[in-house]
Amino acid sequence: MESTLEIRKRIHEFIDIADERILRIINGIIDAEEQEDNYPAVPDYIYDRVDEERAKYLKGEVKTSSWEEVKERLKNL
């Protein structure tokens, strides 16, 4: 089974060479999807990324800074 990344890459490559008929069909699909009440304002892959980063944060795998530390570093640039 293809990963989401592989599917995205394949679709991008296909769209780059698609004729007008195919582009209009894809555009119609997008329009119909956006009309749905449950159409997400934020794509699912963004939620996935946030979940991954949150998990790293909770495990202590990510270096964080307080707002004061950030302001101090910016002053020193």
* pLDDT tier, 60 (very low <50, low <70, confident <90, very high otherwise): very high
Tokens of 18: 């698609």
The pLDDT tens digits of the residues spanning 12-40 come to 999 999 999 999 999 999 999 888 877 66
The pLDDT tens digits of the residues spanning 42-57 come to 888 899 999 999 999 9
Instruction: Provide the percentage of residues in the chain whose pLDDT is more than 70.
Output: 97
Instruction: Give the Cα separation of 22 and 77 in Å (integer).
Output: 51
pTM: 0.44
Residues contacting 22, CB < 8 A, separation 6+? 14, 15
Q: Which of 8, 16, 13 is nearest to 45 (CA)?
A: 8
CA dihedral 26→31→37→39, nearest 10 degrees, is 50
